[in-house]
Every structure is written in C-alpha cells, then in structure tokens.
C-alpha cells in the first residue's frame, strides 16, 4: 500500500495533497503496466517462448520505472518545494537521500 508522507502546508489541504498523487497520466501508465504483467502471467501459463516472456517483463519494468519517475517528480515539484518554501525541508531532504540510496 502506498504510504503518503506529504504534510499539508501553506493552505494546501490534505485532500489536495492526496490529489497530487492521483496524477491521471501516472495512473494510466500503472494500469498499462498491470495489463502487461497480466499478459506475462498468461504467457507463462501458456508456456510461450521464454524470450518473448522476458521482453514483456522488460516492457512492464520500463512502465513501472516511468510511473515511479513521475511520482517522484511530482513529489519534488509539490511536497519538497513547499517544504523548502516553509523552511522545513530537513525531513524531505532526508527522505530523498534515503530514496536515492535505494534507487542507485
Ligand atoms: Cu509527495
């Protein structure tokens, strides 16, 4: 389950902050990735050629990475920026540092 760590500040309500995570373009990408993963399952059940399955898995991973990039970008452009403007950015910077350790 997605854990929201955004805190509402500068008049941005919690509901609006959640809305920022509901970017329709990102949701579309995630649903496409879900369809691809379901296809991977069917291909595997049907004993399709291994490299064809691998190609489908790669496509799924690429979509998930794209969705992740968009979610992180939205976080930087909204949550982190607002924390910087408030002068309360230490926690957000620590979160980004932890994220970079996981990703790189
Ligand atoms: Cu955020």
Residue-range domain boundaries for the chain: 24-103
| Ligand 1 centroid, distance to 37 Cα (angstroms) | 26
Measure 52 CA to ligand 1 centroid, in angstroms: 36
The answer on pLDDT for 15 being more than 90 is: no
Task: Tell me which range, 17-31, 38-52, 79-93, is most confidently predicted by mean pLDDT.
Answer: 38-52
Ligand 1 centroid, distance to 78 Cα (angstroms):
7
Q: What number is the average pLDDT over the span 30-52?
A: 98
Ligand 1 geometric centre to CA of 101 (Å): 18
Task: Say if residue 41's pLDDT is above 90.
Answer: yes
Answer yes or no: is pLDDT of 12 > 70. Answer: no
At residue 22, the pLDDT reads: 79
Residues 4, 18: contact at Cβ < 8 Å? yes
CB atoms within 5 A of ion ligand 1 belong to 6, 75, 79
* Mean pLDDT confidence for 25-30: 95
* pLDDT of the residue at 3: 45
Q: What is the mean pLDDT of residues 89-103?
A: 95
On whether the CB atoms of residues 26 and 71 are closer than 8 A, the answer is: yes
Helix (H, G, I), strand (E, B) or coil at 104: coil
The class level of CATH for 24-103 reads mainly alpha
Structural contact between residues 63 and 32, judged by C-beta atoms closer than 8 angstroms = yes
The reported pLDDT for the residue numbered 70 is: 94
The CA 73 to ligand 1 mean position distance, Å, reads: 9
Using a cut of 0.95, tell me whether the model's pTM lies above it.
Answer: no
């Amino acid at each position: 389950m997605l854990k929201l760590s955004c805190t509402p500040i500068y008049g941005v309500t919690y509901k609006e902050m959640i809305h920022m995570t509901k970017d329709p373009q990102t949701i579309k990408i995630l649903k496409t990735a879900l369809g691809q993963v379901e296809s991977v399952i069917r291909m595997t059940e049907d004993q399709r050629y291994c490299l064809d399955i691998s190609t489908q898995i790669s496509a799924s991973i690429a979509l998930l990475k794209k969705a992740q990039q968009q979610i992180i970008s939205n976080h930087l452009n909204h949550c982190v920026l607002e924390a910087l403007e408030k002068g309360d950015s230490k926690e957000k910077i620590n979160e980004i540092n932890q994220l970079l350790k996981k990703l790189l």
